[in-house]
């Protein structure tokens, strides 16, 4: 992944990240103003003042939903309304296909996350924190544990931090390894040692979360912003963005571009400018479309390249900014296989709690496989349309996993229907790696319900 030389006041999240990706240790972090916010906040600002700064900053969650962070935090009962533990949980699971921005932060600058979590916990008056990390992120977990040990040695974690009277303990917890753990209540269930099924809401985690106690769950990138905002102020953060959204954003691109990577840019940067940083499409390939925010977002096309990459603009275009990490569809890749791979992934990752997701996603994946392999009929397109209409509707499923899985399918049919028609009419597609003559398959495959283990990543 790539980075640019950063002005620390305009590229706060990546100012410590070096081209060789060597992790920033305690000495290097403190030498570049690290833990300055901790020293100037604990015991010197009230939690209420810190919360107001976060509200005024207009920071929106960077995990995908874009919900205002300050508003989310304001739902946590403060003062002595709920005596006992409060929890702060960092969602570092990062299982969204095509997304790798949090890994960059975790592996290259672990102290940034820890300082952000301490300031966040102080604001919320939470005394216990967990970093719920994807189990495959072994290096990141190791670096975080080492950084936590260094913080204990410096008095930045534990009891009476910096003599402020504030106590906070922080732990690293390896994920159960399921996509559904990225949903905050499923994550909480997993932390409690239960099956990672999403919970019904209300009650919301801010009131009754981990072990029934007030709990805030935020994404890595979100929490990394907190101490910068408290240190430099809400207006500074607002001025970093372009348009109505505030701050910077980690944008990424994967696929047939010359320089796949991740860059910290002002939120609202035009999509075309992000593609330019990626060096454009590889020689011999043209852009057909892209998923703007990971595998569970709707396709956009070249006509959308001049749009601002922010929450509202991408929403009005019919998709979601999501994680801000784009997956490219090129002109030599069949949209049927592209979408099928994603739907198979989401079918595999369903928690199995509700019928539309548990049974509907494997059914959709099987229909797509039939189409790709030359066994499809025109009725299969009607079946997919019914699935999109039912599974894709928010409220028909227990959580948003299945509706998210339908987004690339619905938009894939909308924008690239000719790929589906080629398979249906000819039994194969010249863009696919395998050209299967229609009807040349064993009929037993038609009834198979197994889902491929292939994962889009």
Residues 266 and 320 in one domain: yes
5 occurs within a structural domain:
no
How confident is residue 446, by pLDDT bands cut at 50, 70 and 90? very low
pTM for the full predicted model: 0.89
Query: Regarding predicted confidence, which is higher, 8 or 381?
Result: 381
Domain count across the chain: 3
Single residue among 223, 240, 257 that ends a domain in this structure: 240
How confident is residue 433, by pLDDT bands cut at 50, 70 and 90? low
For 184, the token pair is 């905050």
Residues 262 and 185 in one domain: no
Work out the average pLDDT over 40-59.
96
Residues 375 and 427 in one domain: yes
Q: Count of alpha carbons within 13 Å of 405, Cβ hemisphere only?
A: 32
Work out the average pLDDT over 294-317.
96
Residues 37 and 145 in one domain: yes
Rounded Cα distance, 359 and 363, in Å: 6
Residues 230 and 282 in one domain: no
Give the DSSP letter string of 207-274: TS-GGGS-EEEEEHHHHHHHHHHHHH-HHHHHHHSSSSS-SEEEEEEESSBSS-EEEEEETT-BHHHH
Residues 27 and 134 in one domain: yes
What is the pLDDT, as a whole number, of residue 290? 97
Work out the average pLDDT over 346-359.
92
Work out the average pLDDT over 246-263.
96
What is the pLDDT, as a whole number, of residue 437? 43
CATH of the domain at 256: 3.10.20.600
Q: Which range among 185-189, 308-312, 398-402, 423-427 shows the weakest confidence by mean pLDDT?
A: 423-427
Rounded Cα distance, 412 and 324, in Å: 19
Give the domain extent around 303: 248-330
73 occurs within a structural domain:
yes
How confident is residue 81, by pLDDT bands cut at 50, 70 and 90? low
CATH of the domain at 105: 3.40.50.11540
164 occurs within a structural domain:
yes
Phi, psi of 224 (to 5 degrees): -65, -20
Phi, psi of 263 (to 5 degrees): -140, 140
Work out the average pLDDT over 301-307.
97
Residues 324 and 371 in one domain: no
Residues 164 and 87 in one domain: yes
Rounded Cα distance, 374 and 440, in Å: 8
What is the pLDDT, as a whole number, of residue 83? 77
Single residue among 314, 330, 346 that ends a domain in this structure: 330
Handedness of CA 155, 156, 158, 159 (dihedral sign): positive
Task: Look at residue 139 and give its three-state secondary structure.
Answer: helix
Q: What is the mean pLDDT of the chain?
A: 90
Residues 49 and 167 in one domain: yes
Single residue among 219, 240, 261 that ends a domain in this structure: 240
Least Cα distance to 352 among 210, 196, 200 occurs for 196
198 occurs within a structural domain:
yes
Rounded Cα distance, 383 and 394, in Å: 19
Work out the average pLDDT over 340-361.
93
455 occurs within a structural domain:
no
Residues 129 and 275 in one domain: no
């Amino acid at each position: 992944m790539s980075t640019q030389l950063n002005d620390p006041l305009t590229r706060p999240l990546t100012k410590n990240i070096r081209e060789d990706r060597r992790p920033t240790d305690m000495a290097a972090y403190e030498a570049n103003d690290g833990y300055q916010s901790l020293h100037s906040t604990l015991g010197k600002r009230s939690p209420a003042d810190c919360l107001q700064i976060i509200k005024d900053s207009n920071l929106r969650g960077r995990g995908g939903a874009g919900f205002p962070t300050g508003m989310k935090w304001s739902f946590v009962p403060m003062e002595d309304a709920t005596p006992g533990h409060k929890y702060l949980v960092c969602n570092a699971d990062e299982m969204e296909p095509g997304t790798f921005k949090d890994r960059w932060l975790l592996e290259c600058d672990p102290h940034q996350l820890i300082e952000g979590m301490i300031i966040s916990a102080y604001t919320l008056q939470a005394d216990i924190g967990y970093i719920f990390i994807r189990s495959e992120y072994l290096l990141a977990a190791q670096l975080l544990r080492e950084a936590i040990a260094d913080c204990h040695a410096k008095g930045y974690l534990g009891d009476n931090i910096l003599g402020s009277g504030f106590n906070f303990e922080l732990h690293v917890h390896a994920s159960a390894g399921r996509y559904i753990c990225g949903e905050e209540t499923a994550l909480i269930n997993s932390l409690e040692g239960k099956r990672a099924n999403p919970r019904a809401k209300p009650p919301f985690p801010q009131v009754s979360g981990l072990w029934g106690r007030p709990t805030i769950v935020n994404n890595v990138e979100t929490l990394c912003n907190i101490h910068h905002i408290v240190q430099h102020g809400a207006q500074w953060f607002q001025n970093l963005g372009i348009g109505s959204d505030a701050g910077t954003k980690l944008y990424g691109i994967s696929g047939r571009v010359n320089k796949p990577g991740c860059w910290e840019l002002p939120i609202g940067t035009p999509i075309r400018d992000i593609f330019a940083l990626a060096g454009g499409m590889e020689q011999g390939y043209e852009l057909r479309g892209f998923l703007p925010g990971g595998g569970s977002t709707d396709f956009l096309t070249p006509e959308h390249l001049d749009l601002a990459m922010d929450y509202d603009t991408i929403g009005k275009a019919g998709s979601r900014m999501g994680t801000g990490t784009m997956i490219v569809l090129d002109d030599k890749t069949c949209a049927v296989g592209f979408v099928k791979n994603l739907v198979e992934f989401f079918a595999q990752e369903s928690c199995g709690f509700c019928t539309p997701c548990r049974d509907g996603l494997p059914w959709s994946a099987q229909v797509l496989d039939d189409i790709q392999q030359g066994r499809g009929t025109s009725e299969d397109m009607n079946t997919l349309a019914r699935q999109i209409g039912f599974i894709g509707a928010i409220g028909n499923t227990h959580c948003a996993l299945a509706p998210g899985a339908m987004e690339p399918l619905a938009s894939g049919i909308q924008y690239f229907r000719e790929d589906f028609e080629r398979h249906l009419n000819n039994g194969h597609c010249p863009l696919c790696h395998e050209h299967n003559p229609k009807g040349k398959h064993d009929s037993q495959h038609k009834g198979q319900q197994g889902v491929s283990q292939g994962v889009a990543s």
